């Protein structure tokens, strides 16, 4: 699984409010992300973390590319929870 892009409207809004002569730019989407968590069989109510990408240091970035094992015979969607640097969460469901 590869996350190609992520945009945090809240972070972009904060950056644009600090705009001076030069507009701040985010060159790598991973700099806006605090953590990525993946549930390989999301049941719609309980998020069971099968994989967590939480960088150790503030200067480290999430990987953005993950390999997970899926249960055979399960039709439950894969859920990806992305938490941005402001603590806002986005949950994306992926069909198998």
Domain boundaries, the chain: 9-94
Residue whose structure tokens are 């549930």: 39
Q: Higher confidence at residue 57 or residue 17?
A: 57
Report d(CA 29, CA 69) in Å as an integer.
25
- Rounded Cα distance between 67 and 63, Å, is 11
DSSP string, 67-92: -----TT--PPEEEEEEETTS-EEEE
CB atoms < 10 A from the CB of 72, how many?
Answer: 5
Confidence of residue 19 (pLDDT cuts 50, 70, 90): low
Q: pLDDT at position 20, please?
A: 63
Indicate if the pLDDT at residue 21 is higher than 60: no
Report the predicted TM-score, pTM, of the whole model to 2 decimal places.
Answer: 0.85
pLDDT at 23 over 70: no
Separation of first and last alpha carbons in the chain: 12
């Amino acid at each position: 699984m590869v996350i190609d892009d992520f945009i945090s409207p809240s972070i972009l809004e904060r950056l644009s409010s600090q705009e001076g002569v030069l507009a701040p730019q985010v060159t790598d989407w991973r700099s806006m992300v605090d953590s990525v968590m993946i549930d390989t069989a999301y049941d719609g109510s309980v998020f069971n973390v099968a994989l967590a990408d939480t960088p150790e240091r503030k200067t480290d970035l999430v990987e953005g590319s993950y390999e997970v094992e899926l249960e055979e015979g399960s039709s439950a969607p894969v859920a990806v929870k992305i938490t941005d640097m402001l603590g806002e969460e986005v949950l994306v469901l992926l069909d198998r």
